[in-house]
Structure 1
Amino acid sequence: MSNTDTIVEVRDLNVTFQMNRGQSRVVRDADLDVARNETLGIIGESGSGKSMLASSFLNAVVEPGVSTGEVTYHPEDGEPVSVLELSESELNRFRWEEVAMVFQGAMSSFNPVTTIRTHFRETLQDHNRDIPAGMDRARELLESVYLDPDRILDSYAHELSGGMKQRALIALSLVLEPDLLVLDEPTAALDLLMQRSIVTLLRELQAEYDLTLVFITHDLPLLTKLADRIAVMYAFNIVEIGTTDDLLYNASHPYTRALLDTTPDLNVPVDEMNIIEGSKPDPVDHIPGCSYHPRCPMADAQCRSDDPPMMTVSDSHESACFYYDEADDAVPISAAPDTPPTTSQSAATDGGEN
């Protein structure tokens, strides 16, 4: 992928936290390109590193977390930006103006004693933008997300439903006209109908405002309705990446195939549903070899000793598995991947959030 087609390049990214029992590495040696104007989905179990990877796009990992490696942002016009080397003042401009992020928890993202109008005005003021022109854009954005500006701008967060808060937060994230919008579990607290509504809304916003989207979730069926490509994370790194069709119909990593096989079906009794056996990896005690080998039915001596690099499955598809071409037979998927999901699927085996 050439730089003219790429908006963000991630190379050898690591995110670490110092803990009492040692250094916790919550992103390990991650490499990733995000193409301009695409929707890239990032999926994995709770605690797999999805949020930490995405936060690094803005150098927004909270202290005492430390991001190392390279995160390069390519504006449409101008020189590439090394995000992890930006000063605090440069970061303040970069965030919201170039890359914006909708963090987890719209319910708690707004100041409860401040109107929505004030949130927009303060964002514009902090970036030295023309307030009247910016508020005109705010009204336009609120209308784009199917909200009444006259009602919403003078409301407090507690006066809005969950879906309304989420849509208002998306509008706020776009008020400075960023090129890249990162959404971290934006539908996690919403009912199924509102989740689908948000997905439809994001498609419309992407087309209207020429956006690149990075969508983080543990809801695989939801992601397949939005993403052009999907990156699968396991043990704090990307283990498979490809187009949505690549992942749905030709998944080549045993973990991805196991995720597909755990999609809930309301027609199947709970005790007959598939799960991924075993425990997720420890961020401190990193095991040798492939991180998935303790849970993998394909694992052999090589898997236990060597960490597999990304292997080329096709021009659009890579998998970090020595035996990617055997995964189809070794890890069968019981449900046809094109079967419409009957409920929201969680990739987390412990039911938590990342």
Structure 2
Amino acid sequence: MAVDDSSTDPDGGSESESSASGPSRSPSDSVSAVARSVADPILEIRDTTVAFNMDRGESRVLDDVTLDIERKEIIGIVGESGSGKSMFASALLDAVVEPGVLTGDITYHPTPDESIDLLNLSKRELRDLRWEEISMVFQGAMSSWNPTMTIRGHFEETLDAHDADYVAGMERAHELLSDLYLDPERVLSSYPHELSGGMKQRALIALSMVLEPRVLVMDEPTAALDLLMQRSILKLLKEVQSKYEITMVFITHDLPLVAELADRLAVMYAFQFAEVGPTETILRDAAHPYTRSLLNATPNLDADVDEMKPIPGSSPDPVNAPVGCSYHPRCPLATEQCVEQDPPFFDAGPNHQTACFHWEEAAEEIPFSLPEQTDREASR
């Protein structure tokens, strides 16, 4: 498949070129393809890999990925469980735990004229960057609160660890909690067990932003919440992102959920990116067979349950991924070329890239239907 991706457990800028008659049909260079739609990148990920040496052999849980993330955008990273999403998030903060080995290049641009080699920082520099510049809400983080400390204690500890101004920091904490429709004094004086799941999650988002980071990485931040609370937090995130002009990387397996929030989607399969493009383009005109099958397999309140079509087969083993296109064992369009060759990115339209030799056939061979109007469109 193409050069791009995320990860999983070790065992398990300008418009794209198109002619007047339609999208380019020639493959794009992996770097230029993903960079072409990003005019002002805040993060540049190049040829990045995470590998674990297992008894069964090398396990690649992030496989030579390349992606640019636009300043102030909300980008959704989507894929099945085990596709590499969480490892991609860890790589963005150089937070891959041993014995995992992270290689490649990740460049962070605090401003358009500054560049920081994220994988070449000292431990102190990296510690500061992780909260002050790039912050993260980890998967399952609602249970990571210290039960013996009040929420105020968590904010104070974070400010103290980074030598931040206490008064200004707590004023910002109050503002953030209010922005997230919480009562600051009540929440700050509470212990974690005294708050509901949705309140703890919103307080955690406020904590992750108290040092005014430019990038917020969120790994399945609403996974443990009910549907109504998920939608509520998405709405709040959109408001907070707009107010503070923060770049947001939202990682989830729930494509319809993130589609309500994201400006752009990057669809992952087998530790690589399969397709990258504007959210509405992906929802209406997905070009990769996997993306189209994923949309067909996604529950839709407007569609009959009988119309849902699970994707046959299972995700590949990271130790023994298929040669050629990693999706070919499950793909109805696969040919001998797919079995033998790893497809590059092709330009499928403006700012839209896909890693499939047969992307032009996908719409006819794998039809899917969406509601007349998505929730995201209706909220505009």
The TM-score with structure 1 as length reference comes to 0.92
Specify the alignment match of 2:98 in structure 1.
63
Equivalent residue of 2:104, what SS?
Answer: strand
Q: Residue 244 of structure 2: which of 186, 200, 209 is its match?
A: 209
Specify the alignment match of 1:39 in structure 2.
74
- C-alpha displacement of 1:273: 3.0
Separation in 2, partners of 1:70, 1:130: 33
Q: What is the root-mean-square deviation in Å for CA atoms of aligned residues?
A: 1.6
Q: Deviations over 1:212-267 (max 9, x none)?
A: 11000111111111000000000000010000111011100000000111122457
Specify the alignment match of 1:295 in structure 2.
330
Q: Deviations over 1:290-313 (max 9, x none)?
A: 000000000000000000011111
Specify the alignment match of 1:112 in structure 2.
147
Specify the alignment match of 2:25 in structure 1.
none
Q: Is 1:316 equivalent to 2:351 in the alignment?
A: yes
Specify the alignment match of 2:290 in structure 1.
255
Amino acid corresponding to residue 82 of structure 1 in structure 2: D
Specify the alignment match of 1:164 in structure 2.
199
Cα pair 2:42 2:112 within 8 Å, conserved:
no
Amino acid corresponding to residue 273 of structure 1 in structure 2: M
CA gap of 1:329–1:53, structure 2 versus 1, over 3 A, is same
Separation in 2, partners of 1:303, 1:77: 39
Amino acid corresponding to residue 107 of structure 1 in structure 2: M
- C-alpha displacement of 1:106: 3.0
Specify the alignment match of 1:87 in structure 2.
122
Identity score, percent: 60
Amino acid corresponding to residue 370 of structure 2 in structure 1: A
- C-alpha displacement of 1:318: 0.2
Cα pair 1:6 1:33 within 8 Å, conserved:
yes
Separation in 2, partners of 1:143, 1:174: 13
Q: Is 1:13 equivalent to 2:48 in the alignment?
A: yes
Alignment of 1:194-343 (within 5 A): 194-265=229-300, 273-333=308-368, 335-336=369-370, 338=372, 340=374
- C-alpha displacement of 1:77: 6.4
Separation in 2, partners of 1:163, 1:62: 29
- C-alpha displacement of 1:66: 1.5
Aligned length: 340
Q: Residue 182 of structure 2: which of 147, 157, 161 is its match?
A: 147
The TM-score with structure 2 as length reference comes to 0.86
Cα pair 1:163 1:194 within 8 Å, conserved:
yes
Unaligned runs of 5+ in 1: 342-354
Amino acid corresponding to residue 116 of structure 1 in structure 2: I
Q: Is 1:24 equivalent to 2:59 in the alignment?
A: yes
Separation in 1, partners of 2:113, 2:104: 22
Separation in 2, partners of 1:312, 1:266: 32
Separation in 1, partners of 2:363, 2:300: 22
Specify the alignment match of 2:35 in structure 1.
none
Amino acid corresponding to residue 289 of structure 2 in structure 1: P
Q: Deviations over 1:12-34 (max 9, x none)?
A: 01011122211110111111000
Q: Is 1:185 equivalent to 2:210 in the alignment?
A: no
CA gap of 1:128–1:78, structure 2 versus 1, over 3 A, is farther
Specify the alignment match of 1:48 in structure 2.
83
Unaligned runs of 5+ in 2: 1-12, 15-37, 376-380
- C-alpha displacement of 1:57: 1.1
Separation in 2, partners of 1:337, 1:9: 35
Amino acid corresponding to residue 342 of structure 2 in structure 1: D
- C-alpha displacement of 1:74: 0.4
